[in-house]
Chain A
Amino acid sequence: MNRWNNQIHNNILSLPSFFFSFSILIPNNFWVCNQGTSKPFTFITTGSVYIVSKVVIRLYNNKGNMPKDNSAPSTPTSARARHRRRSNEFPADESKTNGHLLLVNDHNKYRSMWIRACSSLWMLGFFLLVIYLGHLYVLAMVVIIQIFMARELFNLLRKSHEDKHLPGFRLLNWHFYFTAMLFVYGRILSHRLVNTVTSDKIFYRLVSRLIKYQMVICYFSYIAGFMWFILTLKKKMYKYQFGQFAWTHMILIVVFTQSAFTVANIFEGIFWFLLPASLIAVNDVAAYFFGFFFGKTPLIKISPKKTWEGFIGASVATTISAFVLANIYGSFQWLTCPRKDLSTGWLHCDPGPLFKPEYYPLLPWLPWTEIAILPVQWHALWLGLFASIIAPFGGFFASGFKRAFKIKDFGDSIPGHGGLTDRMDCQMVMAVFAYIYHQSFVVPQDYTVETIMSEILSSLTLEEQQILYMKLGQILQERMFGWD
């Protein structure tokens, strides 16, 4: 009952904050050049204050009983977590069909399913709101998710007994975290930041200077943390401290690789972030339902509740829905246009050849004479294939990890779901793949003589253009003579 009361409590508390934020007319980011005209200021500021108030309320009620509005739409992963939970609680039960265990504990099951569905809906709604608000807010959401994930993982293997003897060790973790954040986001956002502050001369020089020496700043920050670590090594605690140091590095690599690629995808166009995330969600839902109705043969020893029928059915469903979703998402310019700076206004662009529909004639006995297919749908097929076959290995990895270290869940931020890392495990594998696929197979197709030409004329000075001309001429001459 506690959970119910807290949930209603939370909603009532957040309404006043909603109305309060309406009354605040915070001026939009003063450094933004082009301000959107079709989004009212109040809505943007309202949304952000609402989000902040939700987070603050959640932090004050830190028993973790309230739904946390974060992260990926995951109605189906709730069911998967339920399966995973039950598998952790009854490790001896191997390879039972899904049907048997589901009908046990009827009352508890329905209530917990209701709680999970509720928190899933909140998360989904929040996610859609953030998508509507734009690239910068999606970026902020990713950063917040990252902070909470890192916090969960840092706390995971810490032993409180040793920690009492090591004051300031937690601070070291966060020092490395912020160094990594500076490094990763500095590289990804440097161009866009420069484009944003071109209006103000002082800011522009400051930002350019920062970007030029970004590697040095990050390196010295890392070296400072390294020296701090060595100077705080205590006798008899060496092994624990080295273990924690290695653990910190592994966490930061895992968290920042996928979030860096996610952010890079977002600024290429929300489509390249939304489509992979949706495919993972669809895969989970479909896997649950196929397993529910047809599940018989177990899939892998690490996750005893997963079945081959669920896996194959979900693969087919994911691939088909990838094809369909790409068509739906590709028709919105908000999703397909890349963002060149850090503004929040509306986007207009030429979507490029990938999003222009091509018409294929259909067989004459069907009611439609032709079908419009966006070329990006063929790319989406590959994304769907990966999401259904390889991305679940991220989930297996997390399951194996939890069994290895005898943990039930990574955290308890989300009621009914466990921690944030539980939700993000498959998303992480998918985000990296989406970025690499985009860089290798999508972007090079866009390169034409015109695009490179415009890049040359816009980003190089006259002298540099002449240098380029001479060098290119030399190389092409060498090639021509070499091949004749």
Chain B
Amino acid sequence: MQKENNTTVPSATTPRIRHRKRSNEVIPEPSKANGGNLLVNDRNKYKSMWIRTHSTVWMIGGFALIVYMGHLYITAMVVVIQIFMAKELFNLLRKAHEDRHLPGFRLLNWHFFFTAMFFVYGRLLSQPLVNTVTSDKFLYQFVSSLIKYHMAICYFLYIAGFMWFILTLKKKMYKYQFGQYAWTHMILIVVFTQSSFTVANIFEGIFWFLLPASLIVINDIFAYIFGFFFGKTPLIKLSPKKTWEGFIGASVTTIISAFVLANILGRFCWLTCPRKDLSTGWLACDPGPLFKPENYILPGWISQWFPWKEISVLPVQWHALCFGLFASIIAPFGGFFASGFKRAFKIKDFGDSIPGHGGITDRMDCQMVMAVFAYIYHQSFVMRQGISVEMILDQILTNLTFEEQQSLLMKLGQILQERLEHS
């Protein structure tokens, strides 16, 4: 079955998976050149490549459609991916024999999952949610009080799960249950960290979600292509099919395409505008200084060769260079981590949701590392104006009643006027 609502997948990781699968099946074979293995099993290879290409095209198509539809639908897609990833990972280390003696243990996993979901998305979406329901007074008060006591509600949900866990501890099953408890926590942290940062990026502007994801895709595709044609020296023992030539070639290509892609993506208002509420309408905004093209005059020797005299560069393209660097050099470690993990626990794939690709976690391993980096980079280096203004505005809106807000507004207005008159 093909699921349309899965995230983007690079068509090039198909051969990587093919290599990874073959390397799992035939473990003692080290570092053969990529060319050697590819010509084996011609018929099966073409058939499986066709299946993979088919599902890749569906995934990319679905992804493009969702990006067109908007922020809310992308968030929904991220949430759905998350649920499937968590389901795959929860099932991974479970042992069916012990599980028969522990009814309701699976339910505990999902309880913690929904607590984490409420916590993370409550924090991220509280401000946009408040902005959406300003029209209805009753709903507004309900939402405000929910947000005010959000931390307390999440904490008590967690404590309820914690107490439930302790009360269901069974003799002789202690070690298994504690192991599962720790495993649940690790899964939830891994899944929710990256998805919360992804959603935060989306509401800053789809650009900051689309660019990192595309860079990972491009890196995979070109790593495959360079490895196919030039691959000789193996890169790391964990993934025997990866080569240094593929790695370096892909790095160069990713950085160049980051520069170019940022220019292309930065022209669309739909991608660069932040979204302040949960509506789905069209966006129009002042994109800010980052997306205004600046013109650089090219030095003389270039204009002799090329017809262009000057080039317009969006300032965001310099930031995109850093993204490209990270995507090519550090993000593959997410893939190595997943490979090592599968070898450690002797698993072939995380799941089998996507035909020809394995599970969703197989597709998302590098994306997760990249999403976190993109968020932290954006928070630290892409200056947003008025952070403290936002914080204080939050405080005013959540902690004061409507009348108090109005009186605060009047007093502030008076003080500002006095200051203007003095200066």
Contact = CB atoms under 8 A, between A and B. Distances in A.
Classify chain A's interface size: 35 or more
Interface stretch (B3-11, B59-67, B174-182, B204-212): B174-182
Interface string B133-167: 01111001000000011011001000100110011
A400 interface: yes
Nearest to A390: B159
B405 A230 contact: no
A24 interface: no
Contacts of B137: 482-483
A249 B188 CA distance: 13
Given A390-B159, A439-B151, A476-B405, A449 B380 contact: no
A84 to B, nearest CB: 15
Interface string B381-423: 1000010110011011101101011111101110110010000
B395 A452 contact: yes
B336 A476 contact: no
Interface residues of B, number: 69
A219 B333 contact: no
Contact of B177 (A404, A465, A467, A483): A404
A333 B349 CA distance: 61
A171 interface: no
B77 interface: no
Contacts of A226: 333, 337
B177 A479 contact: no
B92 interface: no
Q: Point out which of B396, B407, B411 has the most chain A C-beta atoms below 10 A from its C-beta.
A: B396
B134 A478 contact: yes
B229 interface: no
Nearest to B159: A390
Contact of A216 (B135, B148, B166, B377): B377
Given A213-B380, A404-B178, A233 B340 contact: yes
B400 A441 contact: no
Nearest to B326: A223
Interface stretch (A71-79, A350-358, A418-426, A453-461): A453-461
A449 B395 CA distance: 11
A219 B186 CA distance: 18
A439 B147 CA distance: 13
B330 interface: yes
Contacts of B344: 238-239, 241-242
B41 to A, nearest CB: 28
Interface string A217-261: 001000100110011010100110110001101100100000000
Contact of A472 (B336, B340, B345, B405): B405
A400 B392 contact: no
B130 to A, nearest CB: 9
Given A235-B237, A452-B396, A405 B408 contact: no
B406 A476 contact: yes
A460 B389 contact: yes
A230 B337 contact: yes
10 contacts: A230-B336, A238-B343, A246-B183, A300-B167, A301-B169, A301-B171, A404-B175, A459-B388, A472-B412, A476-B402
Interface of B: 134-137, 140, 148-149, 151-152, 155, 159, 162-163, 166-167, 169, 171, 174-175, 177-178, 182-183, 185-186, 189, 236-238, 330, 333, 336-337, 340-341, 343-345, 369, 372-373, 376-377, 379-381, 386, 388-389, 392-393, 395-397, 399-400, 402, 404-409, 411-413, 415-416, 419
Given A433-B159, A482-B134, 12 more contacts: A212-B380, A249-B186, A250-B185, A404-B178, A429-B159, A436-B151, A444-B148, A462-B419, A468-B392, A475-B397, A482-B136, A482-B137
